[in-house]
């Protein structure tokens, strides 16, 4: 059974009903559903996250809106890097890796160029916000 927190359930439902497109805050942005295995619970979790493409790879940012802590899903991909992605109407497996410098900064800046709000997130926190690269296994 997949666990989706209440706040994200509407986004997940809208995503699946509209071939990967949603309105509201994410309107016009690229969004994927990231399926992870809970680091502690071992339960499947689903989180909608904004992404950019880097070649065939999907890039997501563990920003948590600039909060002082990483999002829970970040710890899940560290513990279990084999993930499932829903992007548009496709569902596939990918391997998650944490980008190292200088790639981390390059990819983060690419995200900022498309979604400027990510620049605010890095200004709001003292932590280095992780960039996660999702490499499809197809």
Residue ranges of domains in the chain, CATH in brackets: 2-136 (2.30.110.10)
* pLDDT confidence of residue 100: 98
* pLDDT confidence of residue 138: 72
4-18, 33-47, 60-74: least confidently modelled range: 4-18
Residue 132 has pLDDT above 70, yes or no: yes
Long-range contacts from 96-102, C-beta under 8 angstroms, 24+ separation: 96/132, 96/133, 96/134, 97/132, 97/133, 97/135, 98/130, 98/131, 98/132, 98/133, 99/59, 99/130, 99/131, 99/132, 99/133
Measured at the alpha carbon of residue 12, what is the angle toward residues 112 and 128, in degrees to the nearest 5? 30
Average pLDDT (4-28) is: 82
What pLDDT, in 10s, does the model give residues 97-124? Answer: 999 999 999 999 999 999 999 999 999 9
The two three-digit tokens of residue 56, written as one number: 């065939």
CA–CA distance, 65 with 68 (Å, rounded to integer):
9
pLDDT band at 131 (very low <50, low <70, confident <90, very high): very high
pLDDT band at 1 (very low <50, low <70, confident <90, very high): very low
């Amino acid at each position: 059974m997949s666990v989706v927190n209440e706040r994200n359930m509407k986004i997940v439902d809208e995503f699946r009903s509209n071939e990967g497109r949603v309105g509201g805050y994410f309107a016009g942005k690229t969004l994927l559903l990231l399926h992870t295995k809970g680091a502690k619970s071992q339960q499947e979790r689903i989180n909608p996250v904004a992404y950019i493409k880097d070649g065939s790879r999907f890039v997501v940012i563990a920003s948590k809106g600039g909060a002082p802590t990483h999002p829970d899903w970040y710890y899940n991909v560290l513990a279990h890097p084999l993930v499932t992605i829903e992007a548009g109407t496709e569902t596939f497996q990918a391997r998650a890796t944490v980008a190292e410098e200088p790639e981390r900064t390059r990819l983060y800046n690419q995200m900022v160029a498309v979604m400027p709000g990510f620049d605010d997130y890095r200004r709001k926190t003292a932590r280095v916000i992780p960039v996660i690269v999702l490499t499809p296994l197809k």
